[in-house]
Amino acid sequence: NICALGLNMVRVPFFWTEILDINGNIRADAFGHLDWVIKEGKKRGLYVLLDLHGTPGGHSNGWLSGGHTGSNELWTNEEYQKMTVKIWEALAERYKGEPTVCGYGLLNEPVPSEDSPISVVELYDKLYDVVREKDKEHLIVMGAFYNFDTLGSPKENGWTNVMYETHHYDTDNKASEQAQINFVAGQLG
């Protein structure tokens, strides 16, 4: 269906327990599902963007977009941060050189808790460094949530071959194309 629409890439969201067990160890079958998706993408001429949609402890102010409703502990729990680093280290090691993988989406819609001792940029620095240590080629996608200016300039942060993504929602609940245009214009504005 994706190919029939004339598209050539699929963003594949996955939850942290796909890679790690509950104790933070790499699962014996950690890459089975992602390998299958990549193999199927390759057969169809589709690029695959691996998107960590849910981290240990949650990372989106308790919203469902972080995989944990009512939990946002990634920002205040160093063990959860280490586990998230471990996930990206393993993925970058496994998929470096894999041409079907177009990139890595480090976090879906990150929103730190108010008491977070680290910022989004500081956590992205850690994740960026561990990915680049293993894989210097693949695109790294960073969620600039809510606005493009959330992360600052990639150059200022020392990041290369990165892309910022934002997710635009109809925040005034008018469900119209113009509402979305207005929202995006406000983000760029």
DSSP string, 89-158: HHHHHHHTT-TTEEEEE--SS-B--TT-SS-HHHHHHHHHHHHHHH-SSSEEEEE--S-GGGS--HHHHT
Q: How far apart are CA 145 and CA 143, in angstroms?
A: 6
Beta strands 101-105 and 9-15 are unpaired
Q: Sort 187 into a burial class: Cβ within 10 Å, 0-12 / 13-18 / 19+.
A: middle
Beta bridge partners of 111: 60
Give me the tens of pLDDT residue by residue for the chain, a chain 189 residues long. Answer: 999 999 999 999 999 999 999 999 999 999 999 999 999 999 999 999 999 999 999 988 766 666 667 788 999 999 999 999 999 999 999 999 999 999 999 999 898 888 899 999 999 999 999 999 999 999 999 988 777 778 989 999 999 999 999 876 656 666 677 776 776 676 555
This prediction's pTM: 0.89
Q: How far apart are CA 72 and CA 173, in angstroms?
A: 26
Beta bridge partners of 162: 140
